[in-house]
């Protein structure tokens, strides 16, 4: 298969020259040692890591509707879509340019140039009612995650993402709104605000999605925890928490900022039963010009929470001390052992969140609300015992906390 030479660019800095085949496979990577500090962190260790960084940049093949979108847009793979769209992203300042072309960052970047997310238009299978679609040759082909997503531009030029839902429920979008309310009530600033939007779904019916504005820009780029962890060797079965902490501190983050953010995120994820805080759902932000780490990115992607994928007939059988999660370790409750400040979350404010938001889901889902509220309140009770000094991930501590139901 024929290959073509491309520069990988960080804004206008060429960080390597490489060959890319028509289906998006890399080879013959030649790094620019004079710009080594601008090379992607996830690929700095060796070329194998760099190839993984590149593959992770493409839209996942498993995204709902991806196969249909590829066929309709004439791509052979999500990697070929990535190449055709110059690997541009709305989360960082990396992109590619054919060796023989003379394009600049100013001419192509998605933060200041108009675009339409053609792939997102098709995979979400609906049109955001407030979207002002704008056309450019440079489309979005790099957003992560399997859920249907679409990038848009509002009247003021701000970039925002619209997300849909799996199945016949709107719970994932409503979970994002519930999480937004929780963070707002806490007075915590470092979170992504989600809003509900109306979408046209199958059979021309009105449905719900959620909207969030991009927290990245030409001056702020995002690096996932997954990418950060590619810079160190991880022991088999080792928790990812301390390796991530080591990398963040090495890059200049203060230990106080790391602890404050993690304490809060772990505790609120526990309350929300967010079982999807994997390493692509935690990120840091940095200045792409100076490479200075600015701190953690605002908390985002909390939709896969509140037992969203559990059928109603199984919801009443949940055992809160046995919940599995995709995070630093597999057992949700044991994540609490990493917390330094047990008072990072105000439980009185957490108890004030209104569950009526879930009444906007389709009719047959509303019977879930009393159970969702029951488990949320039980988790508040558990955290109250935790804040009193009980290590509730231990069986005896858990039994103690379950007796304290009179919140």
- Residue 210: C-alpha distances to residues 110, 163, 196 (Å): 21, 5, 4
Residue 405: which residues within 8 A CB-CB, separation 6 or more? 378, 381
pLDDT at 64 over 70: no
Residue 363's pLDDT is what? 63
Which string of DSSP letters, residue by residue, matches 73-104? HT-SSHHHHHHHTTT--SS-SEEEEETT----
- pLDDT above 60 (res 66): no
Q: Which residues are CB-neighbours of 330 under 8 A, at least 6 positions away?
A: 324
Which three-class secondary structure state does DSSP give residue 16? strand
Tokens, residue 18: 């490489």
- Residue 60 clears pLDDT 90, i.e. is over it: no
> What's the chain's average pLDDT?
85
**Tokens matching residue 406:** 């009179």
pLDDT digits over 343-361, tens only? 999 999 999 999 999 998 8
Residue 337: DSSP 8-state: G
3 beta partners: 21
Q: How many angstroms separate the Cα of 358 from the Cα of each of 85, 274, 305, 352?
A: 38, 16, 13, 15
Residues of the chain with pLDDT > 90, as a percent, come to 65
- Domains annotated on the chain, with CATH: 3-100+109-163 (no CATH), 221-402 (1.10.1070.20)
Q: How does DSSP classify residue 390?
A: -
DSSP result, 108-161: H-TTTS----HHHHHHHTS-BTT------S-------SSS-EEEEE-TTS-EEE
**Residues 83-142 pLDDT 10s:** 878 889 999 999 999 999 999 999 999 999 988 654 444 344 433 333 322 322 333 334
Q: What pLDDT is stored for residue 204 in this prediction?
A: 63
Would you say residue 243 has pLDDT above 80?
Answer: yes
Q: Model-level pTM?
A: 0.87
Predicted pLDDT of residue 80 = 66
């Amino acid at each position: 298969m024929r290959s073509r030479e491309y520069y990988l660019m960080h804004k206008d800095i060429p960080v390597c020259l490489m060959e890319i085949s028509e289906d998006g496979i890399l080879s013959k990577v030649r790094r620019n040692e004079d710009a080594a500090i601008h090379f992607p962190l996830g690929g700095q260790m060796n070329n194998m890591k760099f190839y993984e960084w590149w593959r992770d940049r493409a839209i996942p093949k498993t995204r709902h509707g991806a196969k249909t979108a590829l066929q309709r847009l004439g791509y052979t793979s999500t990697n070929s879509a990535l190449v055709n769209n110059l690997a541009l992203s709305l989360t960082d300042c990396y992109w590619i340019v054919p060796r023989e072309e003379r394009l600049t960052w100013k001419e192509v970047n998605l933060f200041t140039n108009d675009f339409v997310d053609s792939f997102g238009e098709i995979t979400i299978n609906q049109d955001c009612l407030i979207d002002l679609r704008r056309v450019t040759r440079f489309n979005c082909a790099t957003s992560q995650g399997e859920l249907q997503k679409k990038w848009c531009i509002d009247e003021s030029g701000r970039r925002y993402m619209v997300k849909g839902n799996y199945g016949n429920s709107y719970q994932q979008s409503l979970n994002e709104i519930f999480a937004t309310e929780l963070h707002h009530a806490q007075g915590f600033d470092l979170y992504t605000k989600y809003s509900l939007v109306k979408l046209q779904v199958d059979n021309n019916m009105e449905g719900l999605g959620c909207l969030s504005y991009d927290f990245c820009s030409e001056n702020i780029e995002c690096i996932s925890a997954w990418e950060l962890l590619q810079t160190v060797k991880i022991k088999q079965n080792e928790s990812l928490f301390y390796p991530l902490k080591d990398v963040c501190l090495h890059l200049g983050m203060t230990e106080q900022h790391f602890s404050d953010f993690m304490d809060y995120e772990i505790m609120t994820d526990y309350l929300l039963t967010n079982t999807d805080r994997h390493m692509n759902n935690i990120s840091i932000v940095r200045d792409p010009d100076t490479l200075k780490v600015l701190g953690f990115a605002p908390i985002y992607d909390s939709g896969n929470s509140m037992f969203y994928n559990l059928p109603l007939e199984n919801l009443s059988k949940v055992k809160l001390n046995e919940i599995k999660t995709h995070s630093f370790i597999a057992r949700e409750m044991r994540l609490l052992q990493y917390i330094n400040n047990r008072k990072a979350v105000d439980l009185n404010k957490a108890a004030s969140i209104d569950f009526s938001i879930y009444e906007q889901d389709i009719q047959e889902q509303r019977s879930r609300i009393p159970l969702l509220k029951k488990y949320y309140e039980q988790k508040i009770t558990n955290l109250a015992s935790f804040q009193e000094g009980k290590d509730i991930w231990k069986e005896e501590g858990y039994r103690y906390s379950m007796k304290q139901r009179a919140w």
